[in-house]
Chains A and B, each alone.
Chain A
């Protein structure tokens, strides 16, 4: 029997899956501004996501202090969530391209890349 002080009140029924939690986390982390629940839902990859699922996922982040909510919406506040031990170093693990969006910006402006690409293609011309 878990003492009452340590019990966590969980909503009835099925909650969001780990995949949903990770996706909501990625959406919030990628955006510095606050997002409404509807906006989070719109950015999710699934065509139809129930509002209650997004709310349950957000509540979990609020509970852990990873996000904050005010009248303008929900905002990710935790600087970084450490990866699971050994997971990032596991051989064969491949990052998702959505997580890599904008990851090459550190190598220079996009305009330079496109100019280089034009030059590369121009080498085909006589």
Chain B
């Protein structure tokens, strides 16, 4: 089963200072890479790189993005079918942000689950959620 990496999971993995949470996030990331089940939506990559750039500057963002691209985790672009499914999610759940709808639709398309602690995903039908 595919595991879709939400931006909040990337944040937990790279930003957390809590040793226990950091180790759990790290372990989950290792597992995702080992099993080759991970999938990183382009929208999560965009959100995360924007945040890193805002805090650490462009050089820091470039380093993180290059490391993510070299990690072996496939990047999932926004395809037409995912875009349409995201649109349907947004239509029936207008208070769920569009980025969440796209990530949720990516999970639905692959019959996978989203790794996130964002409660928005639990409101999307046919989207399974898990956390570290």
Contact = CB atoms under 8 A, between A and B. Distances in A.
Interface of A: 30, 43, 45, 47, 94-98, 100-105, 107-110, 113-114, 116-117, 120-122, 124-126
B43 to A, nearest CB: 10
Nearest to B8: A114
A104 B95 contact: no
B55 A94 contact: no
Interface residues on B, range: 35 or more
Contacts of A124: 97-99
Interface of B: 7-8, 11-18, 21-22, 25-27, 29-30, 33-34, 47, 50-52, 54-56, 60, 63-64, 66-68, 70-71, 94-95, 97-100
Given A96-B71, A120-B47, A110 B15 contact: yes
B24 to A, nearest CB: 11
Given A95-B63, A120-B47, A105 B98 contact: no
A109 B30 CA distance: 23
Given A47-B34, A121-B97, A97 B67 contact: yes
